Amino acid sequence: MRRFSSVLTVIALLAATGAPAQAETRVVPESKAQLQLSFAPIVKRAAPAVVNVYASRTLRAQGMSPMFDDPVFKRFFGDNPFGMPRDRVESSLGSGVIVDPSGLIVTNHHVIKDATEVKVALADKREFEAEIVLKDERTDLAVIRIKERGAFPFAQLGDSDALEVGDVVLAIGNPFGVGQTVTQGIVSALARTQVGVADFRFFIQTDAAINPGNSGGALVDINGKLVGVPSAIYSRSGGSIGIGFAIPVSMVKFIVEQARNGGVVRRPWLGATLQTVTPDVAESLGLKRPQGALVTGVVAGGPAARAGLKVGDLVLTIDGIDVDDPDAFGYRFSTKPLGGVTRLDVQRGSATRPIEVPLMSAPETTPRDERKIDGYSPFGGATVLNLSPAVIEELHVNLSGEGVVVKEVVPGSPANRVGFQKGDVVLEVNGQKVDTTRTLARIAQSDPGIWRLAVQRDGQVIRMAFR
């Protein structure tokens, strides 16, 4: 406080002696108290690294044949001789943060999803084409790179684990496309896990105004360092009401490292399923409050099984950090580098013991044999994969030993109309077990009149019938 008082004294003397007024704003804050003067030095440090991201994709009109793109055809018949519906271009706007002087940029996956062209605009109005290096839907993060070589301004990465509720943060992005905008707030909460916008749910909550277009931008601390990437808001109107969520920079660091090492995300695999501890379960385990993650399934031969983890064990900590629920554990575990081990403190009965789990990726024990099912069966328009630990981990499927899993569904297709979803596991069709994608493709070509299916979704088996 004495230093802050002395700063005010200097400002008062400058004003009294007729010194230029602009000298009052050139003080760089060196403590939290001095931030009462201005956030401008922080913005000047961080804002140049925040970019606008323009993504576009071309949607092919239904019924358009690739023949219409042939140059010889266009030469004789023109671009659209039969009045067919034309292709249309959809655009999305978001933000990004340069995290490397070479032009490596982090943004949200949903900003550049399905994009065929990506451009970025820097704070100094320069525009560049960018290429997609990595997309990770599970974290809602993506990495793109500016195609042109150069030395670009970049953000220093901070420590999201050092944040505390009440800390001042700034959000920088391009809300509603109005241009780069800075908003200020505090950290409202940490480790928010009940926000369903990604598989790894562990968000920083802030009341700094975040609006559409801020996605993929920067959440910075009072040192101007990146601590999070704004990704979602809670809103009934579409605008900010003071409840925004950002992905912690610890996850950003993991994804950036994966981008630098080939652009393929390789996460450690636990080989076990975990369940939230309810008040009733906590009471039965002798806990004072609900905490930890309860082991409900273990894959034979997986890392958890090798480490000695058993059904009924309660995971309390990972590398000394408390675990409140399965989402918190999944976030911490997924950011560990492959190789080595991670230590879990596990309660079994009345005793607590340490367990070291090897950090290894999930194996693809069965080739995935990806196939897109065509035709008018209930599976038409679905892309399916054979199950393996790698596919189960990739698609976040509940443990299952057999069946064929749905990877994606084409909107408006027969599979979409009957209600198939990503992650559904097809177990049986008309009493016949579905063990491979080849089997399902063959069954889909038949015409039984009535289709009777057994499908596993979120661990529950659903039986349905269609004509």
pLDDT at position 193: 73
Lowest-confidence segment of 286-300, 339-353, 385-399, 427-441 by average pLDDT: 385-399
Q: Active-site residue 31, yes or no?
A: no
**Contact call for residues 104 and 50 (beta carbons, < 8 A):** no
pLDDT at position 234: 79
The fold adopted by the segment(s) 39-262 is Thrombin, subunit H (2.40.10)
Mean pLDDT of 217-224: 93
- The length of the chain is 467
For residue 222, pLDDT beyond 70 = yes
For residue 372, pLDDT beyond 50 = yes
Q: Active-site residue 140, yes or no?
A: yes
Catalytic residue, candidates 160, 215, 240, 413 = 215
Mean pLDDT of 431-460: 91
CATH class of 371-466: mainly beta
Element (H, E) at 328: helix 326-334
Catalytic residue, candidates 136, 140, 313, 327 = 140
CB neighbours of residue 356 within 10 Å: 13
Strand boundaries in 234-285, DSSP class E: 244-248, 272-276
Any residues with CB less than 8 A from the CB of 75 and at least 6 apart, and which? none
pLDDT in tens, 167-204: 999 999 988 888 889 999 999 998 777 666 556 678 99
CB neighbours of residue 36 within 10 Å: 11
State the Cα–Cα distance between residues 208 and 205, nearest whole angstrom: 9
Residues of the chain with CATH 2.30.42.10: 272-358, 371-466
pLDDT at position 11: 35
CATH class of 272-358: mainly beta
Catalytic residue, candidates 92, 95, 109, 110 = 110
State the Cα–Cα distance between residues 269 and 59, nearest whole angstrom: 36
* Residues flagged as binding site for substrate: 110, 140, 213-215
pLDDT at position 33: 66
Residues of the chain with CATH 2.40.10.120: 39-262
pLDDT at position 443: 93
* Residues flagged as binding site: 110, 140, 213-215
Q: Each residue of 432-467: b (16+ CB within 10 Å) or e? A: eebebbebbbebbeeeeeebebbbbbeeeeeeeeee
State the Cα–Cα distance between residues 302 and 298, nearest whole angstrom: 8
Task: Name the 3-class secondary structure at 318.
Answer: strand
pLDDT at position 8: 35
pLDDT in tens, 91-111: 778 999 999 999 999 999 999
pLDDT at position 74: 58
Average pLDDT value over all residues in the chain: 84
Q: Angle at Cα 29 formed by Cα 27 and Cα 33, nearest 5°? A: 120
Q: Active-site residue 110, yes or no?
A: yes
pLDDT at position 99: 95
State the Cα–Cα distance between residues 385 and 265, nearest whole angstrom: 19
Residue 72's pLDDT band (cuts 50, 70, 90):
low
Element (H, E) at 205: strand 203-206
Q: Tokens in use for 433?
A: 């077990």
pLDDT in tens, 196-220: 655 667 899 999 988 888 889 999 9
Handedness of CA 42, 48, 52, 53 (dihedral sign): negative
State the Cα–Cα distance between residues 111 and 215, nearest whole angstrom: 7
According to DSSP, the β-strands at 218-220 and 168-173 are antiparallel
